[in-house]
Chains A and B, each alone.
Chain A
Amino acid sequence: MLHTKRSRSIINNLQKVNTLLAQDTNKKNIVVSLGDSMTEEGYFIHYDHAGDMPDHFRGGWKMWPEVFKDMLEERDNHKYELVNLGQSGCGMDYCFDNLIEIWPKLRKRIKFVLWGGTEFSRFDHLVEDYGMVPSTRSDINYRNLSSRPGDVIYNRVNKTSEEIKNFGALEYVDYINRSWGDKTKCIKRMSDIFRKITFVEDLCKLNDSKFLYYPLLQMFVGKSYYVTGGTFEPGNKKQTEWLNELTYINDISKNKKRHKHYVDFKSGILGVTWSSWHNRLFPRRNFTIPLITRERLEWPNTDGHPTEHGQKDIANKFWSWYVKYN
């Protein structure tokens, strides 16, 4: 391992790949999961996001890939192995790169590839093993200052911006955030990502592996960037409109057999609509079970990560979609 900025979870799971390879078996029983902090094994909400929130609210529960694996084991009555390649803050390209790293070694044993989609704007630094999250420079982060408004020391924007600046990418990140006001640039990015997603679908099909993709976050989360000289990301309505212009999406729409790979994908006479898991939570006015951390009434905060109930809900969404089509 040349760079060690990868999360402990990724390092452990890549080591697990080597252990699995050493096993003398041809069983196709491996579930590979991809995603960001909503997927990362053992993810704990960071201090920067939620201040001194008690540990039992921060994490330590089963993440959705593990819950899904449990459901699968119960149904099939045999053991599956999980390789969870989720990493906090990572983007879609990073997820793809992780998959192609293990694919040549492990493909014969992969039964499932489950991908929890994240923001499309994120990217990896070219030479540092550091994931850039351009949306950390959004206006809302400037105003909100994580869970403790007014706390300048732990201001996420200042802290993350300093890191981005040290990697020479501040100007680049702000340019990128300005780009999302431009339809052509958004569509370019959407095409770049769906090219990879549909490629993985094809890869899995040929390998007789199951593939499921579920956007856990919106492609562009709809933030504004006026403080940093930018504009704003497209809202849901525009994203849906542009989604319908993509070759990749029209192809899926026309071929109903392919819908099984795309959780919550809906196609009708008015076109394609596709809500992320996170977005579907917004209409919830009343909730007794907190699905995301900021719904925890006993500890007011602004964090949007799934709680233990949220993780089960995501797994259920994956599972019910899978079962529906199989």
Chain B
Amino acid sequence: MTLEISDHASDRRYVEQFRLARQLANDKKDSSKNVIIAFGCSFTDPYFRVDYSWTTSERGPLPPHLAGGWKMWPEVFKDMLEERDKREYHVLNFGRSGSGFGHGFESFLKIWPYLKHRIKFVLWGGTDFNRFEHHSYRMHVDLNNRRDTGIKSFFEKKGGGGADYERYKQHGVIDYVDNINRSLADPSTVKWIMMKRLRLMTFIEDLSTSNGSEFLYYPLIEPFGGGSFYKTGGSTSPSLKTTQMYLQDIHFTLNLKNNKKRLKHYVGLHIKFSGAFWTSWSADIYLSGKKLKILHNKEWPNNDGHPDKYGQEDIANQFWKHYVAHEKK
């Protein structure tokens, strides 16, 4: 099989990861299972940099050393693994800013048939469940861009209908996005989205397990960002509390209750007598008051909610601790 490497302009930055995958798959000297593949959004993206058009800072754009360029969590995780196992591992990081499950899954489908014999770890940094890929145009669509708060700030800045409004309008998705946002007040719709996304994870878990690979999934941000959509005729997106409530009812959780060994694949998920609890890394940071985000930088006040260097290390630590704790069992 030949690995599909896109020559599209928007994929250019990411070609390197696919080229490395090709090298690893065809490496005649080393065929060992020592590859880590990682998926996620900007929290995982190896090329992430603070986007100043999204960030406000009184001092102007953040200097490069505060805007990114540090090791992302998959790389930190790899270092920990290498230190423990005293052998070399390779990381292929397919994380991509703004993307949702659909894009991650597409990358997974590209890479898996080609490289599965070498994959030791599949690590997935969970992102917003409300993102999807446009059907015919290469574009990530984020429902949250039409949130009331987003529209407000956009009006103040440029006088439009939310970030990416023009692009969404041009590619025919505004009505569609607003329609979906309107239905987020319906619990069965939200549970349906949760079920569909987590079904993909169950599939990848099963595939990885049957391939002798480790699989770990950790929601790095809340599956639904909360917030309201009243300006676009919608209601509110599920909050942390509501999502936890819905989690109790979906098949995914019920199946895990019946097979607790599977919990080893899901970081931060706890099933107790009183129910299932699953908080994202971001929610955990918020609740614990830890200062691990770019916006916590006091020298250069800004509002970017991405993890900083220490945040990335913390995410890697959470993955690692979970993996080690369950490995011992």
List A residues at the B interface (Cβ < 8 Å): 2-3, 97, 100-101, 103-104, 107, 123, 126-129, 167-176, 179-180, 185, 188-189, 191-192, 195-196, 198-199, 202-203, 206, 247-248, 250-251
Q: Which residues of A contact B132 (CB under 8 A)?
A: 126
In the complex the two chains form, is A104's CB within 8 Å of B206's CB? yes
List the B side residues contacting A169 at CB < 8 Å: 175-176, 179
Residues A199 and B109 in contact, CB atoms below 8 Å apart: yes
Residues of B within 8 Å of A251, CB to CB, are 1-2
Closest Cβ–Cβ distance, residue B232 to chain A (whole Å): 11
In the complex, what residue of chain A is closest to B188 when comparing beta carbons? A2
B136 touches A2 (CB 8 A): no
Residues of B within 8 A of A97 (CB): 196, 199
B136 touches A104 (CB 8 A): no
Is B4 at the interface (CB under 8 A from chain A)? yes
B172→A174 contact, CB < 8 A: yes
Interface of B is mostly: helix
Q: How many A-B residue pairs have CB under 8 A?
A: 100
Cα separation A128 to B1 with both chains bound (whole Å): 36
* 22 pairs of residues in contact across A and B, judged by CB atoms under 8 Å: A2-B188, A2-B192, A3-B192, A101-B203, A123-B135, A126-B193, A127-B183, A128-B189, A129-B192, A169-B176, A169-B179, A171-B172, A171-B174, A176-B136, A188-B137, A189-B136, A195-B109, A196-B109, A203-B207, A247-B2, A248-B4, A251-B1
A180 to chain B: closest residue by CB: B136
Give the interface of B toward A (CB within 8 A): 1-2, 4, 106, 109-110, 112-113, 132, 135-138, 171-180, 182-184, 188-189, 191-193, 195-196, 199-200, 202-203, 205-207, 210
CA distance A209 to B181 in the complex (A): 41
Known contacts A126-B132, A127-B193; can you find 9 more A-B pairs with CB under 8 A? A3-B192, A103-B203, A104-B206, A167-B179, A172-B175, A175-B171, A189-B136, A195-B106, A196-B109
A185 near B137 (CB under 8 angstroms)? yes
Q: Is B172 touching A199 in the complex (CB atoms < 8 A)?
A: no
Please indicate the chain A residues that have their CB under 8 angstroms from the CB of B193 in the complex. 126-127
How far apart sit A202 and B199, CA to CA, in the bound complex (Å)?
20
For A179, what are the chain B residues with a Cβ–Cβ distance below 8 Å?
A: 136-137
The complex places the Cα of A3 from the Cα of B132 at a distance, in Å, of: 20
Write out the residue numbers on chain A whose beta carbons fall within 8 Å of the beta carbon of B106. Answer: 192, 195
Chain A proximity of B126: nearest CB distance (Å)? 18
State in angstroms the CA–CA spacing of A97 and B106 once bound together.
13
State whether A127 touches B192 (Cβ < 8 A). yes
Report which of A100, A101, A168, A198 forms a contact with B176, defined as CB distance below 8 A.
Answer: A168
Q: Is the interface of A mostly helix, strand, loop or mixed?
A: helix
Compute how far the CA of A202 lies from the CA of B206 in the bound complex, rounded to whole angstroms.
15
Q: How far is the CA of A123 from the CA of B210 in the complex (A)?
A: 30
Complex interface: chain B residues within 8 A of A168 (CB): 175-180, 182
Cβ of B200 and Cβ of A100 under 8 Å apart? Answer: yes
Contacts of A126 in B (CB 8 A): 132, 176, 180, 193
Bound CA span A103–B204, Å:
11
A2 to B254, CA, bound (A): 14
Cβ contact within 8 Å between B135 and A104: no
> Residues of A contacting B202 with CB < 8 Å?
104
Q: Which of A103, A171, A198 contacts B175 (CB 8 A)?
A: A171
CB-defined contacts of B178 to chain A, threshold 8 Å: 168
Residues of B within 8 A of A180 (CB): 136
User: Of A3, A100, A185, which is in contact with the most chain B CB atoms at under 10 Å from its CB?
Assistant: A100
